[in-house]
Amino acid sequence: MVSILWSGTSRRTRLAAVFLLALMLAAYLTFPTIREVDLPRVSIEYKQPPRSQYNESKVALLIENRPNPILAPLMLHFMSVVPPDWRFRFMGSTESVEHINQSVAIRQQVSAGKLDLTYIPSNMSTAGQEMISRFLTNLWLYETVLRPAEWLLVFQTDSILCANSRQNLDDYLEYDWVGAPWNPSGRFGGNGGLSLRRVSPMIDVLRQQVRLENSEPEDTWLADRLAHRPGAKMANGTVSLTFSGEAHSGTAVEIGKTPGADRLASYGSNLEAAAAGEYVKGIDDWREGFYEPMGYHTGSGGTDLHGGIWGTPEKRKHMWDYCPEVKMTLKMDAAKYIPGNCNPNWKRDGEQGPGYAGAGDLGYGTEVIDGVEYPILSPNLVPW
């Protein structure tokens, strides 16, 4: 039947049928390949950048326009002592930013996202106390530059946090303001040179009030207004003394009588208790009777060392033992402040003095405490 039908068709019809069959066969053979081709797709979902290991709500800020040799060492020290989730920001002049950026360790922290280096705007200045006060009472700083920070640690080149401290910066996050107290019996207020500040309350204050130029220092102006806000949480003098020491001495360590001493019985050994942060007799005896804040600020722009902190040889000896890094903030000539008869070989100008160095060569001389020779500090020693 098929052959009869095929023979009865015209040549043109047969050619058309063959072509149609060939086309269908080609389509059938190529269809699976076409079906597997990946076509471009459009997606409105964007990959999220990896989450930073640092907390953007916690920022430590150092502002310095001078290319000071202490900048990189001080910044790296604070990074090692402050809880690891804090971020850091340095604001400086072209010269000071270039200077601190010469440090390989600093550049590594910048690459890791731990540290930001930024310039002080050309229309602003930090030269002198008044200019610093204007800078730190500018709403733009908190709303724009530091955003979204909620806690701000302000530190300067004459301040230090002690690695041997039993306190932790995060212990003070509940307060709107804490710094070395002006009045140890006061209800609020503390020096701003080493201070922890809550940003949102400061923004609230600065949206409502403007500091008059050449008036109160920024820390006095801000602390007073923060304290009078409804619901303010200000650290009192007692708490502030544990945070930072400047002019007034705080409560001395008493082994066996300090908070937590009653927990010692729950530990298996003294070493276990010490590892947990407890004061232990026989291990912490050197701390007995001395005031140990979390950090220090020399105050008055660094021109004075107050008697409450530095006033006796015993206090200074304990300072060197408890917080030796504080020496980094003091402008000390090695020939004057390194005890022993090698002093003449430690001159900054490269000159080597002959023989033994007497008291006259040691600046203000030395003092012997418990059989160990220590330098006597200048009565008007100036930090960098």
As a whole number of angstroms, the distance between CA 333 and CA 337 comes to 6
- Token pair recorded at residue 370: 């418990």
Q: Please tell me whether the peptide bond between 324 and the residue prior to it is cis, using omega within 30 degrees of 0.
A: no
What are the backbone angles phi and psi of residue 197, rounded to the nearest 5°? -130, 145
Average pLDDT along the chain: 83
Nearest in space to 60 (alpha carbons), one of 129, 159, 167, 166: 159
- Token pair recorded at residue 345: 């070989």
pLDDT, mean of residues 307-325: 89
pLDDT digits (tens, 9 = 90+) for 29-62: 665 555 555 656 655 555 555 667 899 999 999 9
DSSP 2: H
pLDDT of residue 358: 39
How far is CA 191 from each of CA 115, 179, 201, 305, rounded to the nearest angstrom?
25, 5, 18, 15
User: Over 50: is that where the pLDDT of 216 sits?
Assistant: yes
* 159: β partners: 297
DSSP 143: I
Helices and strands (DSSP H and E) totals, the chain: 14, 11
User: Over 80: is that where the pLDDT of 154 sits?
Assistant: yes
Going by pLDDT thresholds of 50, 70 and 90, the confidence category of residue 219 is: very high
Range with lowest mean pLDDT among 185-189, 275-279, 284-288:
275-279
As a whole number of angstroms, the distance between CA 106 and CA 85 comes to 17
pLDDT of residue 5: 54
User: Over 60: is that where the pLDDT of 249 sits?
Assistant: yes
The residue ranking higher by pLDDT, 213 or 312, is 213
As a whole number of angstroms, the distance between CA 36 and CA 55 comes to 47
Nearest in space to 157 (alpha carbons), one of 294, 302, 292, 321: 302
Topology, domain 55-244: Spore Coat Polysaccharide Biosynthesis Protein SpsA; Chain A (3.90.550)
Task: Report the C-alpha dihedral over residues 118, 119, 124, 129, rounded to 10 degrees.
Answer: 80
pLDDT of residue 266: 73
The residue ranking higher by pLDDT, 283 or 88, is 88
Percent with pLDDT over 70 in the chain: 75
DSSP 330: B
Other beta carbons within 10 Å of 340: 11
Going by pLDDT thresholds of 50, 70 and 90, the confidence category of residue 17 is: confident
pLDDT, mean of residues 294-322: 83
* 375: β partners: 366
User: Over 90: is that where the pLDDT of 283 sits?
Assistant: no
Going by pLDDT thresholds of 50, 70 and 90, the confidence category of residue 191 is: very high
User: Over 50: is that where the pLDDT of 343 sits?
Assistant: no
pLDDT digits (tens, 9 = 90+) for 162-171: 999 999 999 9
How far is CA 101 from each of CA 65, 166, 384, rounded to the nearest angstrom?
14, 32, 19
pLDDT, mean of residues 269-292: 85
pLDDT of residue 256: 72
pLDDT of residue 333: 57
User: Over 70: is that where the pLDDT of 332 sits?
Assistant: no
The residue behind tokens 């009045």 is 183
User: Over 70: is that where the pLDDT of 88 sits?
Assistant: yes
Q: What pTM, to 2 d.p., does this model score?
A: 0.78
pLDDT digits (tens, 9 = 90+) for 354-370: 433 333 444 566 777 77
